[in-house]
Amino acid sequence: MISDFLVPRAVRALLGAFLVVFWPGWHAAQADDWPQWLGPQRNGISAETGWLSQWPQEGPQQLWKAAVGAGYSSVSVSNGRLYTMGNTEETDSVYALDATTGKELWKHSYPCTAKDPNGYVGPRCTPTANDGRVYTLSRRGHFFCLDAASGKVLWSKEFSRDYGAKAPTWGYAGSPLIEGNWVITEVGGAGSAVVAFNKTDGKEAWKAGDDAPAYSSLVAFDAAGKRCLAVFSAAGIVGRSAANGSELWRHPWKTSYDVNAATPLIVGDSVFISSGYNKGCALLDLAGGKPSVRWENKKMRNHVGTCILAGDHLYGFDESQLKCLDLKTGEEKWAERAYGKGCLVKAGALFVVYSDRGRVAVAELTPAGCKEISGFQVLGGKDTWALPVLANGQLYCRSQRDLVCLDVKAR
């Protein structure tokens, strides 16, 4: 693979194109950052190509392992740095590590309780990296904008103090969304269900709504010539104007304990939503400006993981089964019990599947079935719910307390 340090990206692209044309059989590998929750497009899909999918029985080479405190935060990777969060002795920390060596570059810490009604301690948010800044949210509503190079606090908010907001039962879990010059997040409280802040200085741009937050993350999309936000709140899915937060539409979706946790999936003029606790899933048609149900069933009940769309099919975890559904009809194509409850990401034609017991696998998922290519036990423990991340030839997997980096660069 051509070194990023020796040849600029644009030159590498031209060279790759030349080799494909004049050197038959040669294929350029493409690296890609993962700067936010669910990746560059917030859909669980990476543009990474040419990565190593055939592993020995013991798995690919481990480059490093780091203790990052308790929590469920996944990682973001940008400009050679990795960002994640964890809690140790009632203190939250935002970590910046060298993405290749695991060396700690800086750590920002602040008091924050890790206590949880069911023992699921620590932060849930995945940091968002953008334009030299990192945005994070604690389970209690500490919202930070940090300098990406040094960890210096550039500005901060505290939702209970600044908005009178009450954290959800299991803590704030949404990851900040960058939209133009703003960073947007669910807050809660009267008139501040969703708040947009200037991403540079933290000044409030707008606030709107009275809905209580659930555990999902916002998604931006275009509809009828307008920039919109999909907000999966405790009460249901709400469409808002990205310009000022005004409500455009809503569809009730009440789940036990308000656990709407999966991120909405926008597909053209429709949105797919799913929740656990036997609630189920639905494909909603947004074309008329008001949601209408195309189909609804209980065949995909996302508890912690978010479905990924590939072609005309959805792949995701129906509680403890990995499944494939036909997007157009909701028909179940197959179910696989081998991975328990987990989550997955897609890169090229393959998926990385991470089980809730710390096993990671590469699989080919198609409407015809699930074909595992490689897999091994990367970490121990249970409830390993943090999303695996593939970025720049490295695969990151997290347990409740440890983070591992695996070398999957093309050979």
Q: In this structure, what DSSP letter does residue 211 have?
A: P
Better-predicted residue by pLDDT, 96 or 19: 96
Residue 75 has pLDDT above 50, yes or no: yes
Does pTM top 0.85 for this prediction? yes
C-alpha to C-alpha distance for 65 and 329, rounded to whole angstroms: 43
Helix (H) or strand (E) holding 160: helix 159-163
Average pLDDT over residues 215-225: 95
Say how many residues make up the chain: 411
Query: pLDDT at position 28, please?
Result: 57
Residue among 75, 88, 96 at smallest CA distance from 114: 88
- One DSSP character per residue, 350-371 reads EEEEEETTSEEEEEEEETTEEE
Residue 24 has pLDDT above 50, yes or no: no
Three-class secondary structure of residue 63 per DSSP: strand
Query: pLDDT at position 224, please?
Result: 87
**Dihedral pair phi/psi, residue 306, rounded to 5°:** -105, 140
Tokens 């409280």 -> residue: 189
Residue 5 has pLDDT above 50, yes or no: no
Average pLDDT of the residues of the chain: 93
Average pLDDT over residues 125-129: 98
Average pLDDT over residues 166-171: 96
Residue 6 has pLDDT above 50, yes or no: no
Query: pLDDT at position 304, please?
Result: 87
- % the chain with pLDDT above 70: 93
C-alpha to C-alpha distance for 268 and 285, rounded to whole angstroms: 9
Residue 22 has pLDDT above 50, yes or no: no
Better-predicted residue by pLDDT, 385 or 1: 385
Residue 99 has pLDDT above 70, yes or no: yes
Contact between 209 and 191 (Cβ < 8 Å): yes
Contact between 122 and 139 (Cβ < 8 Å): yes
Contact between 242 and 252 (Cβ < 8 Å): no
Average pLDDT over residues 251-273: 97
Tokens 């990995």 -> residue: 322
pLDDT tier at 29, thresholds 50, 70, 90: low
Residue 343 has pLDDT above 90, yes or no: yes
Contact between 32 and 392 (Cβ < 8 Å): yes
Residue 3 has pLDDT above 70, yes or no: no
What letter represents residue 75's amino acid?
A: V
Centre a 10 Å sphere on the Cβ of residue 162 and count the other Cβ atoms it contains.
16
Q: In this structure, what DSSP letter does residue 49 have?
A: B
* Side-by-side strand order, sheet with 359-366: 45-46, 342-347, 350-355, 359-366, 369-377
Q: Which two tokens stand for residue 126?
A: 């995945």
Query: pLDDT at position 203, please?
Result: 98
Task: Encode 331-351: b = buried (16+ Cβ within 10 Å), e = exposed.
Answer: eebeebeebbbbbbbbbeebb
Encode pLDDT of 356-399 as tens digits.
Answer: 999 999 999 999 999 999 999 999 988 999 999 999 999 999 99
Centre a 10 Å sphere on the Cβ of residue 220 and count the other Cβ atoms it contains.
17
Q: Which residue segments constitute the domains of the chain, with CATH numbers given?
A: 31-407 (2.130.10.10)
